[in-house]
Amino acid sequence: MVMKIITFSFLICLFSKLQGHCKSDINLGFTLPLSAPIEYTPGFIGKAYIMETETSSRREPSFKAALTMESSEYKGRYLCSIQVFFGDVRVWSSGHYTKMYVSNKCIFELTEDGDMRLKRSNKRVGWRSGTSGQGIERLEIQSTGNLVLLDAMNMIKWQSFNFPTDVMLSGQRLDVAMQLTSFPKDSTMFYSFEVLRDKIALFLNLDELKYSYWEYKPIENKTVNFLRLGPKGLDIFDDNSHRIGRIEQPLTRFLAIGNITGNLGLYSYKPDKGKFEATFRAVSNTCDLPVACKPYGICTSSKSCSCIKVMSNGDCNSNEEEWLSMKRLCDHEMVELEGVTTVLRNGTEARNVSKERCEELCKKDCECRGASYSVSEESCVMYGVVMGVKEIERESGLSYMVKIPKGVRLSDEKSNVRKWVVGLVGGIDALVILLLLSGFGFYYIRKRRKSLSQPQPQLQEEPIAE
């Protein structure tokens, strides 16, 4: 079901000398109320543009600041925020961390003592810049897209660049320990792009669990201090402001971490198409994204999702939250999946262990849900989620084990061979992405056999009915 989106845009701004152009600043004492329809309207988006930058080139869109009201997941409540747009792309929002809900009215105010506020109709403040009494003279949207509060000396007292959202603009700086975050809708899960001392990396965050799925390290173990998006691409600097790394992509206007995919993209403007497009993506293969398939799904080489039938109904399409809820799995056993691995990286590692020991370690740890094992490195990495699982070559020397409830039986159980059949899950329903099912992916998993005296059973391939 597609929800109808109703957008109301207002250009409530103080016009400058140039006809039809908003001014790029606002003085103290400015207030602007915005109202939603009396009857609650799902899909409603109301925007009142209050400021706009003067574009230097006609070929690129300008930055605009707007007071916005959007219908929310709570019926009868709207989200109220100040947002910055670059063309159609939202590049900053006061609601990224502080969500302010209102019933039908939202008021923007730049107070006489220099505080920028959002208020509800009952005058209660829901968000503020916290800059009262700091000598603020005006609010300005700068040519970089930075929303700033300036004093009489034109000193910046508050800036949106200090509160990164899911987008980093050209000219913006991201210091070590800062991050961009992206919040997929209706989920406790989020992605982050983080600047660490030794690398920059993408992370999947779930409750207290955190796993990386992409990273970039600067040359020769140099220490990272900050990042900046410059004219040649994303530059990485050390403590002496020397450039120690670069993801080259000229003309990048902003970098964004995808809401749904968790991919990191560098975007530039395509005047012929009139929109921004990603010219670089950190993860180029869909199967290397942690959410290419739902939890317990396997991203196959044909780019479809197969489902590991571990739960009673064996359905990857069942409620996502259920999969992600951190139930303790204590009385479970392990199955080994052939020819698969996970794209997640930094689970809890045990070095110098055998595969059997790895299996034991995960089995004993009630928080462990899956583990990957590398034969060559004798290393066992344990994970609290079964996500980012993808098909790889069978002779890779890697194996992946998943915890399953004891005594779960397979439809096709024969003599001493316990075989797990993994069904196919439609690409459209599977969370996200996968372009489509071309052909079928079959998966065969078998219980790791304890006794070496038994001969290795042949794996039979059988097609699975839809």
Ligand X SMILES: *[C@@H]1O[C@H](CO)[C@@H](O)[C@H](O)[C@H]1NC(C)=O
Residues contributing to the site for ligand X (CB under 6 A): 90, 166, 185, 210-212, 220-221, 256, 258-259, 346-348, 351-352
- 380, 371 Cβ separation under 8 angstroms: yes
Q: List Cα–Cα distances, 312 to 130, 390, 401, 407, in angstroms.
A: 52, 22, 18, 11
Q: Of the two residues 44 and 443, which places its CB atom closer to ligand X in the complex?
A: 44
- 162, 131 Cβ separation under 8 angstroms: no
- The residue among 375, 370, 269 whose CA lies nearest residue 323 is 370
Closest approach, Cβ 115 to ligand X, in A, equals: 27
Beta strands at 25-27 and 136-141: parallel, antiparallel or unpaired: antiparallel
Q: Of the two residues 315 and 349, which places its CB atom closer to ligand X in the complex?
A: 349
Closest approach, Cβ 408 to ligand X, in A, equals: 27
Closest approach, Cβ 326 to ligand X, in A, equals: 13
Residue 236 backbone phi and psi in degrees, to 5 = -115, 130
Q: Of the two residues 350 and 410, which places its CB atom closer to ligand X in the complex?
A: 350
How far is the C-alpha of 228 from the C-alpha of 236, rounded, in Å? Answer: 7
How far is the C-alpha of 143 from the C-alpha of 140, rounded, in Å? Answer: 10
H or E stretch including 359? helix 355-364
Partners of residue 371 on adjacent β-strands: 382, 401
Q: Of the two residues 186 and 466, which places its CB atom closer to ligand X in the complex?
A: 186
Closest approach, Cβ 378 to ligand X, in A, equals: 7
Closest approach, Cβ 123 to ligand X, in A, equals: 29
Beta strands at 419-425 and 389-391: parallel, antiparallel or unpaired: unpaired
Residue 228 backbone phi and psi in degrees, to 5 = -145, 140
Q: Of the two residues 28 and 353, which places its CB atom closer to ligand X in the complex?
A: 353
Q: Of the two residues 144 and 379, which places its CB atom closer to ligand X in the complex?
A: 379
Match 């869109």 to its residue by tokens.
61
Closest approach, Cβ 92 to ligand X, in A, equals: 11
Closest approach, Cβ 285 to ligand X, in A, equals: 20
Q: Of the two residues 28 and 45, which places its CB atom closer to ligand X in the complex?
A: 45
Q: Of the two residues 124 and 185, which places its CB atom closer to ligand X in the complex?
A: 185
For residue 123, give the amino acid letter: K
- The residue among 180, 147, 182, 128 whose CA lies nearest residue 64 is 147
Please list, in sequence order, all residues whose beta carbon lies within 8 angstroms of the beta carbon of residue 368, skipping any fewer than 6 positions away: 329, 348, 361, 362, 382, 383, 384, 403
Q: How is 322-344 classified by DSSP, letter by letter?
A: HHHS-----SEEEEEETTEEES-
* Adjacency order of strands within the sheet including 116-120: 31-35, 105-110, 116-120, 125-128
Q: Of the two residues 34 and 381, which places its CB atom closer to ligand X in the complex?
A: 381
Partners of residue 334 on adjacent β-strands: 403
Closest approach, Cβ 358 to ligand X, in A, equals: 14
Q: Of the two residues 137 and 320, which places its CB atom closer to ligand X in the complex?
A: 320
- The residue among 216, 188, 190 whose CA lies nearest residue 203 is 190
Closest approach, Cβ 385 to ligand X, in A, equals: 10
Closest approach, Cβ 266 to ligand X, in A, equals: 12
Q: Of the two residues 57 and 352, which places its CB atom closer to ligand X in the complex?
A: 352
Closest approach, Cβ 303 to ligand X, in A, equals: 22
- Burial tier of 403 (Cβ tally within 10 Å: 0-12, 13-18, 19+): buried
Residue 394 tokens, joined = 């069978």
> Residue 55 has what DSSP assignment?
P
Q: How is 286-330 classified by DSSP, letter by letter?
A: GGGSTTSS-TTEEE-TTS-EEE---STT--TTS-HHHHHS-----
Closest approach, Cβ 353 to ligand X, in A, equals: 9
Q: Of the two residues 166 and 391, which places its CB atom closer to ligand X in the complex?
A: 166
